[in-house]
Each structure stands twice: as structure tokens, then as C-alpha cells.
């Protein structure tokens, strides 16, 4: 309470201070306004007192009115409650009284609905009988067109009942439709086939020119009239079982539907010929010669193309079937013949690998010819759908793997397996691909080309798995050959294996970016995700069946939760950050890097072994620069080392592919640069002549060995080049540089206003960019410049060389 009072006093004081400051300023004359201010304050006070008095009088009246209203409302609520109780009892009594009547009405309603169903059922039956009677009357009076219209109405009535659960009614209508279809079809089909025969259908290629058809226009008119009548007899797809294949394998293929009735009749004579030649005990029915019936079907498609386009397609364009192509429909009929034959031979083909493989080749050629040359749509079923059935696909994968493994064996056993096919052609043989590697990748490409047109993406994924399996097997074989040739890394076999691996990696990377393999990767990741989601949903359903049900009012949808779910769904979408060959490419690249590292180590070790005399040269005892001007040449101790290096470079260049050789000499140059810098330059003392000799050996002899492969070989020997630059500095420049760097690194200026010389700028002025004083100061083992104590006899890195050089020059002076 005391705190509250204190707070109130503080607030009043603050208000008073603000009030006075707002009316009076620092000028004493402002006090003249005090009478006016007092007057205004008194008027405000009187106004507030009047309002307060008025409110105090009105409030009790308002409160009394509110209490009266509340009592009235309470009384009404009580009355309504009593009325509600009364009505509730009356309603319950009425419900109890009317319950028998409601039950009776429900029973009568159910009976009425049942009678209505029976009435509609009988109406449909009566309509079917009526249409049947109309067709019978029309046929008795030889009025075919009204009979066709009645049949068309009957099929339309059947379409209305497609979703009905009255199985017996549907069965009755189906039998009726098939009955009248057969009768009407026989009336029209005979005349239609006769007209086709007179118009020389089917076309039979002969060497003799046939005479022209008489009354061709009249025959064409009859053909048009009969063709349209047959279209009226077209059965719905759900009951048109007559032309569907009966083979169980073909029934599993989606998209199989009957042909248009006129086209069925047009295909009928060709179907008889096909069965005559390619079924039974005919010599043309040879299981190892599938190309015979494939070729025959392609010839039929080619021979009848013009007739269908000129005479049948215009008729389809005039009817409701204008979206159907006559030639496509005819090809579909021919494909059905081939699929039936192939399905009939398939059980015997599964027991003969050679014949099965030959049949697959012919099927692929037939499908390619059919779709590319004749424009058969890819959405329609074809012979490849048969090869993707479980029985045929498993056999195809087994045969493909068997023949591929045998071919790989022959590749590796060939005496020219590790020879390049283009070794005599310089421009072509940059990659130096061994024969076995090129043949293996050609084999994989052939497998890809064979399964690429398959309609089932699951089958494509299985073939991709076979290719990955073959790649892994070939990789293991290359590793075995590599281990056998490991003692001689620069030998022909070892380098050929490395070239083979590099070629395989490059080809696989190119394939990974192809649209075909990207589509397979997308399907594979998406399919895996869907399988996982289905498993999770089935598990959740089982869990929900076990858990007790929950009742209550559902809560409104949380917007944040829905957005989070959407974000999660987007994250779970299949991505293409990886490729189908990424894992196997990583394995090949790992082997390739190890082999290249071994070759570099082998060459470097050999060069290092030959460098012992050069490292032990007495650089401090060499003549002065003036004496070496005319006699300067390559150091005798460096001849063997550089000669061995040159021989290795030439040999590896001849045996490695160009990209691999570039990596090789760059890595070798890096190791040589580090070795010479640490083991030669920093390990010796130099006179002026010794520094000049070292620079001559490096710049005029070592660097040019790599100058054949790059325009600036010195860029790969930066430490050596910059060390030589420092060693060959003039005496004055060397002393000045040493003092500048020592002052900057070891004697920081006490006066901040004095600007010190930047040691990096001093180094850059003489062409030293790689070596930095800071790195050398922090780590004496690194190949950097170090400015140590001037009195230390074992100065570090290249500045140790500078001090030795200066000492030698002073001694000579």
C-alpha cells in the first residue's frame, strides 16, 4: 500500500511539473499569466464536479432498471424450461404412439422400392424383347437397315447397365446381343467378303500384271454401304470376346481390345493364310526361324497400305470412328497374329537358349521396323509386351547374362585383349583404349539398345541391374590383372588396365547424362519411395485396427501443420542428384587414382635414387659467376637423373591416354618440385657460381623436359623457380631484402606512425609469389622462406640460402 501511495505521489508531482513547465518558461514576465491559469483550472474543476454530481444521481436508477430486467428474463427462462419439459413428454408420448405406424410405413416403402426395381427390371427385359422382335420382323421382311438400328439401340441399352449389379440381367442382354450380332453379321459379312474378294483383297503380289477391276465405282459404293452397316454391329469392348486372344499370357497384357468388325473381316483371310503356313506340321512352321512369319506380316502391312488409306480411311472419317487410323487398326490385327504365334511358341523357346536369343533379336527387329517405318503407335501393345511377362523376362535376363559372361571371358583371353585397335592411327589413338575394354562397353551398349524399347519400366530397371552386375564383375577382373602387373607399374599391361578403367569411367559418365538413364533413375527412386510408403501405410492400418477407436469432434485443420506436411512431401520427391552409374563409377575412379599414384611413385622413386650424386654436389666450391659465363653447362651429377626422368616421361606418354598422362606428369612435377626444394636447395650451401649452376640445371634442363606438355613448365616448379631467383640475386639486392624482411618480421616498429615495408611486397618485387615469410616463420618444415635469428648458424628455408650466399660472397671478397 505504501508503495502504491508513493507511486501516486510521484505521478502527481510529475504532472504538476509538466503543467507548470507548459505554461511558464524561464522569462519572469510569464508569471503575469498566473491569474488566467488559475481561472481556467477553477472552471475545469467546477465542470468536473457538476458532471460527477449528475452521474451519482443517474446510476442508482439504471441499476434498478437492470435488476428488474434480469428478474423478468429469469422468470421467462423458468417458464420456457417448464414448457420444454412438457413438450418433451408430449413428443415422447407421440413417438411411442406413432412407432407402429412408422414401422408399417417403412415396410411399405421398402416393398414399394422393391416393386419399382422389379418394374424397371421387367421394363428392361421388355425393351430387350421388343428390340428382339423388331429385329426379327425386319429380317423376315428383308429390311436390314432397321434391324441394324434396333441392334445399335440394344447395345446402347447395354451400355447404360454397365455398372448394374444385376448379373443375370447383364448375362441375358449379353447373350441376346451376341445372338443377334451373329445373325446380322452373317447377313452382312458374306456380301462384304464377296465385295472385298472382287476388289482383290487381300493383295497378292505376283509377277504378272492383273487386269483392272470392272465396275470398280459400283463395288466401292457397295463396300462403303456394307462397311457402315458392319460398324453398327460393333460389339462393346466388355462383351467382344470373340476376337480376343485365348492364350493366358496375352490376357495379362493391358490394352488388348478387339478390332473394329469390318477390319476383323478384312484380317480374316490373312489370318487363315498365317495359320496355314505357320502352325501345324508345315515346313514353314520352324521354331528356329521366327523371321519367316515376321517378314510375312511386314510384307502384308506394306502391300495393303495404299488400299486401306484410299478406300477404308475415308469411310472411318465419315463416322464416329474418325479418330481411328485404318492402317493402324490393320497393323494391330497383324500384331495380334504375331503375338498369338509367339505366345504359342514361348513354352518351347524357354528350353533352348540359342533359339530363344535368336527369337528375341528378331522380335526387337520386328518391333523397331513396325514402329519406326510404319508408324505403329508406342502406346499400343506389341510383341515386346510378351517378352516382359515374368516367365519370358527372367529367361531373357538369364540368357543375356550367360552370353555376356561368355563373351567377356573370350575378350580377356584374346591375345590382343590389351592392345589398342587404333594403335597405328595416331590421331584416333589418343585414349589408347584396349580391345577388351572397348568390346566390353560395346557389349553394354548393345544390351542397352536391346532393352531400351521395352514398354515396362520395371523390366528396364532389371536390365540396368544386370549391366551394373556385369560392370562389377569386369571391375574385379581388372583388379586381378592389375595386381598381377603391379610389380612393373609402367609396363604395358598395367598401363593398359589403367587406360581401360579411364575409358569405362568416361563412357559411364556420358551415359549417366542421357535422358534414357535419367528416366530410369527417376522411376527407380520414385518406385522405391512408393513401395516404402505402401509398407508404412499398411503398417499404420494394422496399428489402427489394433488400437481402440476414438470418438469426439474433429479439430479444425492446422494451417502450419498442413504447410509442414507439404514441405515434407516436396523434400521426399525423388531427386536426380545421383545417377544410375554413380556407385560403380566411384569404384572405378578409386582404382584409377590408386594405379596412377603407383605409377607416379614408381617413377619418382627411380628418379630420386639417381639423384644422390646431385644432392651431394659441393655447390659452395664452384667457381664464380664470371668464370662460368663461357663454361656453364649441365651438372655431370644431374645427367643420369634427368636422363632417367626423360625416359620415363617418354615411355609413360606412349602408353597412357592423353588425359591420364596429363594427370601423371602434373603430379610427378609437384613431387619433384617438393623434393628438389627440400632435399637439394635447402640442404646445401651455395656460392655465387653454385647458385648460377643450380639455376641453369633447373631452368635450362629440368623445366624443358616438361615444356613438351605445357607452355609454362616453370608454373609447376614454383618453389624451385623462386628459390633460384632468390639465390641469384645481386649482392646489394640480397642484403637489402634480408634486412627488410628481418625488420618487418622480428623488429616491429615502436612508433605506429612510421610505415614499415610490406615483406610480401618486397618478395613480389623480385618475382617471388608462392613463398611467404609468415608461413615459413610458423613452420620450419614447410617449403617457405624463413628469416631466423641473424646469429643462428642453421638459418631456415630459402633465407638460410640467402645468408649462406652472402657469407660466401663476403669470403670471396
671-730 pLDDT tens trace: 999 999 889 888 888 888 888 889 899 999 999 999 999 999 999 998 888 888 888 877
The C-alpha cell that represents 645 in the structure block: 626422368
pLDDT at residue 428 in the model:
54
pLDDT: which is higher, 670 or 754: 670
pLDDT at 112 over 60: yes
- Percent of the chain whose pLDDT exceeds 70: 77
Stretch 322-343: mean pLDDT: 93
The C-alpha cell that represents 494 in the structure block: 598395367
Which of 725, 719, 615, 635 shows the shortest CA–CA distance to 671? 719
- C-alpha separations of 10 from 6, 21, 41 in Å: 6, 17, 21
Each residue of 116-125: pLDDT tens digit?
888 888 888 8
pLDDT at residue 784 in the model:
33
pLDDT at residue 9 in the model:
54
pLDDT at residue 59 in the model:
63
pLDDT: which is higher, 59 or 153: 153
User: What's the rounded Cα separation, in Å, for the pair 507 and 442?
Assistant: 10
- C-alpha separations of 370 from 302, 333, 577, 598 in Å: 10, 13, 37, 54
DSSP per-residue codes, 172-206: HHHHHHHHHHHHHHHHHHHHHHHHHHHTT-S----
Each residue of 722-769: pLDDT tens digit?
888 888 877 767 677 676 666 666 665 544 444 556 666 656 656 666
pLDDT at residue 315 in the model:
92
pLDDT at 44 over 70: yes
pLDDT at residue 142 in the model:
81
Reply yes or no: is the peptide bond before residue 202 cis, omega within 30 of 0: yes
User: What's the rounded Cα separation, in Å, for the pair 613 and 637?
Assistant: 5
Stretch 347-355: mean pLDDT: 92
- C-alpha separations of 387 from 151, 693, 729 in Å: 40, 76, 80
Collapsing DSSP to helix, strand or coil, 420 comes out as strand
pLDDT, averaged across the chain: 81
User: What's the rounded Cα separation, in Å, for the pair 474 and 368?
Assistant: 30
Stretch 191-208: mean pLDDT: 81
The C-alpha cell that represents 171 in the structure block: 448375362
| Residues in contact with 592: Cβ distance below 8 Å, sequence separation at least 6, in sequence order | 498, 501, 502, 505, 660
Say if CB 588 and CB 501 are below 8 A apart. yes
pLDDT at 573 over 70: no
pLDDT at residue 606 in the model:
95
**pLDDT confidence bin for 354, thresholds 50/70/90:** very high
pLDDT at residue 551 in the model:
30
pLDDT: which is higher, 4 or 205: 205
Please tell me the least confidently modeled range out of 37-51, 451-465, 526-540. 526-540
pLDDT at 632 over 90: no
Calculate the dihedral angle through the C-alpha atoms of 343, 348, 351, 354, rounding to the nearest 10 degrees.
-80
pLDDT at residue 795 in the model:
32
pLDDT at residue 781 in the model:
30
Stretch 355-362: mean pLDDT: 95
Q: Looking at beta carbons, which pairs linking 428-433 to residues 24 or more positions away fall under 8 Å?
A: 430/657, 430/658, 431/499, 431/502, 431/503, 431/657, 431/658, 431/659, 432/496, 432/499, 432/655, 432/656, 432/657, 433/499, 433/500, 433/503, 433/657
Stretch 604-610: mean pLDDT: 95
Collapsing DSSP to helix, strand or coil, 217 comes out as helix
Which of 510, 201, 184 shows the shortest CA–CA distance to 330? 201
pLDDT at residue 768 in the model:
66
Give backbone dihedrals phi and psi of 214, rounded to 5 degrees, phi first.
-80, 150
User: What's the rounded Cα separation, in Å, for the pair 371 and 379?
Assistant: 11
pLDDT: which is higher, 738 or 665: 665
pTM: 0.74
Collapsing DSSP to helix, strand or coil, 770 comes out as coil
pLDDT: which is higher, 231 or 239: 231
Which stretch, 39-43, 317-321, 738-742, has highest mean pLDDT? 317-321
Which stretch, 41-45, 183-187, 245-249, 790-794, has highest mean pLDDT? 183-187
* Range 612-747+757-809: architecture per CATH: Up-down Bundle (1.20)
What number of other Cβ atoms are within 10 A of residue 23's Cβ? 14
Say if CB 598 and CB 497 are below 8 A apart. no
**pLDDT confidence bin for 569, thresholds 50/70/90:** very low
What number of other Cβ atoms are within 10 A of residue 558's Cβ? 10
The C-alpha cell that represents 526 in the structure block: 520414385
Please tell me the least confidently modeled range out of 64-78, 272-286, 402-416. 64-78
**pLDDT confidence bin for 610, thresholds 50/70/90:** very high
pLDDT at residue 801 in the model:
44
Give backbone dihedrals phi and psi of 420, rounded to 5 degrees, phi first.
-85, 140
The C-alpha cell that represents 148 in the structure block: 441394324
Residue spans per domain, the chain: 31-137, 612-747+757-809
pLDDT at 58 over 70: no
pLDDT at residue 669 in the model:
96
Which of 445, 447, 459 shows the shortest CA–CA distance to 508? 445
The alpha carbon dihedral of 785, 786, 790, 792 has a sign of negative
Please tell me the least confidently modeled range out of 168-177, 407-416, 418-427, 788-797. 788-797
User: What's the rounded Cα separation, in Å, for the pair 387 and 393?
Assistant: 6
Each residue of 395-435: pLDDT tens digit?
999 999 999 999 999 999 999 999 988 776 655 557 789 99
pLDDT: which is higher, 233 or 783: 233
Amino acid at each position: 500500500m505504501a508503495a502504491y501511495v508513493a507511486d501516486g505521489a510521484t505521478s502527481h508531482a510529475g504532472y504538476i511539473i509538466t503543467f507548470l513547465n507548459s505554461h511558464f518558461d524561464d522569462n519572469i514576465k510569464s508569471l503575469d499569466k498566473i491569474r488566467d491559469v488559475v481561472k481556467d483550472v477553477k472552471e475545469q474543476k467546477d465542470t468536473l464536479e457538476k458532471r460527477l454530481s449528475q452521474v451519482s444521481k443517474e446510476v442508482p436508477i439504471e441499476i434498478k432498471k437492470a435488476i428488474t430486467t434480469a428478474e423478468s428474463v429469469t422468470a421467462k427462462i423458468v417458464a420456457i424450461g417448464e414448457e420444454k419439459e412438457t413438450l418433451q413428454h408430449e413428443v415422447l408420448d407421440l413417438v411411442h404412439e406413432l412407432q407402429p405406424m412408422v414401422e408399417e410405413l417403412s415396410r411399405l416403402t421398402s416393398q414399394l422400392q422393391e416393386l419399382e426395381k422389379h418394374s424397371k427390371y421387367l421394363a428392361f427385359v421388355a425393351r430387350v424383347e421388343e428390340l428382339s422382335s423388331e429385329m426379327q420382323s425386319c429380317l423376315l421382311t428383308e429390311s436390314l437397315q432397321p434391324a441394324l438400328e434396333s441392334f445399335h439401340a440394344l447395345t446402347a441399352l447395354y451400355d447404360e447397365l454397365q455398372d448394374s449389379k444385376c448379373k443375370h440381367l447383364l448375362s441375358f442382354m449379353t447373350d441376346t446381343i451376341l445372338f443377334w450380332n451373329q445373325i446380322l453379321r452373317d447377313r452382312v459379312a458374306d456380301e462384304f467378303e464377296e465385295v472385298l474378294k472382287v476388289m482383290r483383297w487381300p493383295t497378292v503380289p505376283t509377277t504378272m500384271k492383273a487386269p483392272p477391276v470392272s465396275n470398280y465405282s459400283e463395288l466401292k459404293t457397295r463396300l462403303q454401304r456394307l462397311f457402315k452397316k458392319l460398324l453398327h454391329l460393333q460389339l462393346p469392348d466388355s462383351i467382344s470376346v470373340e476376337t480376343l486372344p485365348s492364350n493366358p499370357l496375352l490376357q495379362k497384357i493391358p490394352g488388348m481390345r478387339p478390332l473394329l468388325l469390318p477390319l476383323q473381316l478384312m484380317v480374316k483371310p490373312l489370318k487363315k493364310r498365317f495359320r496355314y503356313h505357320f502352325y501345324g506340321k508345315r515346313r514353314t512352321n520352324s521354331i528356329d526361324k521366327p523371321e519367316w512369319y515376321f517378314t510375312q506380316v511386314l510384307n502384308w502391312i506394306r502391300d495393303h497400305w495404299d488400299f486401306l488409306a484410299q478406300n477404308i480411311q475415308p469411310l472411318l472419317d465419315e463416322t464416329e470412328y474418325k479418330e481411328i487410323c485404318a492402317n493402324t487398326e490393320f497393323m494391330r490385327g497383324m500384331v495380334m497374329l504375331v503375338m498369338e504365334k509367339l505366345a504359342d511358341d514361348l513354352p518351347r523357346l524357354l528350353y533352348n537358349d540359342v533359339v530363344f536369343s535368336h527369337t528375341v533379336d528378331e522380335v526387337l527387329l520386328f518391333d523397331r521396323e513396325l514402329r519406326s517405318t510404319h508408324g505403329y503407335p508406342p502406346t499400343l501393345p506389341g510383341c515386346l509386351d510378351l517378352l516382359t511377362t515374368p516367365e519370358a523376362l527372367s529367361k531373357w535376363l538369364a540368357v543375356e547374362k550367360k552370353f555376356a559372361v561368355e563373351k567377356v571371358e573370350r575378350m580377356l583371353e584374346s591375345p590382343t585383349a590389351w592392345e589398342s585397335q587404333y594403335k597405328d592411327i595416331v590421331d584416333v589413338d589418343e585414349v589408347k583404349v584396349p580391345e577388351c575394354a572397348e568390346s566390353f562397353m560395346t557389349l553394354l551398349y548393345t544390351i542397352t539398345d536391346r532393352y531400351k524399347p521395352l514398354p515396362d519400366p520395371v523390366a528396364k530397371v532389371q536390365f540396368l541391374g544386370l549391366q551394373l552386375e556385369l560392370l562389377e564383375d569386369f571391375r574385379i577382373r581388372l583388379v586381378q590383372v592389375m595386381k598381377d602387373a603391379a610389380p612393373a607399374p609402367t609396363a604395358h599391361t598395367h598401363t593398359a588396365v589403367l587406360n581401360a578403367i579411364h575409358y569405362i569411367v568416361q563412357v559411364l559418365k556420358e551415359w549417366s547424362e542421357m535422358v534414357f538413364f535419367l528416366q530410369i533413375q527417376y522411376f527407380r527412386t520414385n518406385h522405391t519411395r512408393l513401395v516404402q510408403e505402401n509398407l508404412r501405410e499398411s503398417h499404420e492400418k494394422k496399428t489402427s485396427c489394433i488400437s481402440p477407436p476414438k470418438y469426439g469432434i474433429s479439430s479444425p485443420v492446422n494451417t502450419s501443420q498442413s504447410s509442414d506436411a507439404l514441405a515434407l512431401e516436396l523434400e521426399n520427391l525423388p531427386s536426380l542428384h545421383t545417377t544410375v552409374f554413380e556407385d560403380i563409377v566411384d569404384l572405378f575412379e578409386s582404382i584409377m587414382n590408386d594405379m596412377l599414384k603407383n605409377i607416379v611413385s614408381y617413377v619418382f622413386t627411380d628418379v630420386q635414387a639417381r639423384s644422390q650424386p646431385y644432392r651431394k654436389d659441393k655447390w659452395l666450391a664452384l667457381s664464380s659467376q664470371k668464370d662460368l659465363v663461357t663454361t656453364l653447362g649441365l651438372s655431370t651429377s644431374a645427367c643420369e637423373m634427368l636422363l632417367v626422368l626423360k625416359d620415363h616421361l617418354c615411355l609413360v606418354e606412349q602408353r597412357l591416354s592423353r588425359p591420364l598422362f596429363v594427370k601423371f606428369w602434373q603430379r610427378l612435377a609437384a613431387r619433384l618440385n617438393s623434393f628438389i626444394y627440400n632435399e637439394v636447395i635447402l640442404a646445401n650451401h651455395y656460392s655465387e657460381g653454385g647458385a648460377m649452376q643450380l639455376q641453369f640445371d633447373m631452368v635450362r634442363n629440368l623445366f624443358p623436359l616438361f615444356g613438351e606438355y605445357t607452355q609454362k613448365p616453370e608454373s609447376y616448379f614454383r618453389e624451385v623457380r623462386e628459390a633460384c631467383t632468390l639465390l641469384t640475386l645481386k649482392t646489394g639486392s640480397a642484403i637489402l631484402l634480408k634486412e627488410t624482411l628481418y625488420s618487418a618480421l622480428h623488429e616491429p616498429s615502436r612508433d605506429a606512425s612510421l610505415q614499415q615495408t610490406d615483406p610480401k611486397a618486397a618478395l613480389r618485387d623480385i618475382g617471388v609469389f608462392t613463398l611467404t615469410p609468415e608461413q615459413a616463420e610458423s613452420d620450419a618444415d614447410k617449403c617457405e622462406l624463413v628469416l631466423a635469428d641473424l646469429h643462428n648458424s642453421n638459418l631456415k628455408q630459402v633465407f638460410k640460402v640467402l645468408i649462406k650466399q652472402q657469407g660466401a660472397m663476403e669470403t670471396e671478397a
